[in-house]
Amino acid sequence: MFAAEKPAIRGERDAVEVLGEVLDRYGVTASPDEVFESVWHRIEPVPASLDLVRRLRAAGFGVHLGTNQSLRRAAYMREELGYDDLFDVSCYSAELGLAKPDPAYFRRALELIGAPPEQVLFVDDVEPNVDGAREVGMAGIHWHLRDGHDQLEKLLAEHGVVPAPA
């Protein structure tokens, strides 16, 4: 599914339509809409991550979301999870028509953020995405949730990004 959904991630196709094709290919008779909702709406925001975003914003930093998502999942994240209120700028790949790690994605994100690349620190759990950000001049941190938030805060501090106290 992840390979098949790449056009949906760039906003070129509907994710549920693509999912239906994949399910058909494997003889699965489940409803594509139900499968999509049961899989792609199973986002569980991590409280420590939400807290860190709020603390960074309280310290005066802009905090932006850069994510590869289909239009349907982006809408869910905006409407159901309230990410528009949490982040200053949200860069959903399907809305941009570009996906990470394409450097064009990062150039467009910089335009939306309104900052030069040397003023933006990009954090991602996928190394090629970090490389794409670095290619356009951003600083980049490769960090995964399993590394822990203490490690992330240490890495952020190395770049002069220190959140407000908890």
pLDDT for residue 141: 98
CATH among 3.30.360.10, 3.30.420.40, 3.40.50.1000, 2.120.10.30 for 47-158: 3.40.50.1000
Angle of helix 32-40 versus helix 15-25 axis, rounded to 10: 110
pLDDT for residue 30: 95
Which residues are paired to 122 by β-bridges? 140
pLDDT in tens, the chain (166 residues): 889 999 999 999 999 999 999 999 999 999 999 999 999 889 999 999 999 999 999 999 999 999 999 999 999 999 999 999 999 999 999 999 999 999 999 999 999 999 999 999 999 999 999 999 999 999 999 999 999 999 999 999 999 999 999 8
pLDDT for residue 118: 97
End-to-end CA distance of the chain: 39
**From-to residues of CATH 3.40.50.1000 in the chain:** 47-158
* DSSP string computed for 137-154: T-EEEE--GGG-HHHHHH
132-162 burial string, b = 16+ CB within 10 Å, else e? bbbebebbbbbbeeeeeeeebbebbeeeebe
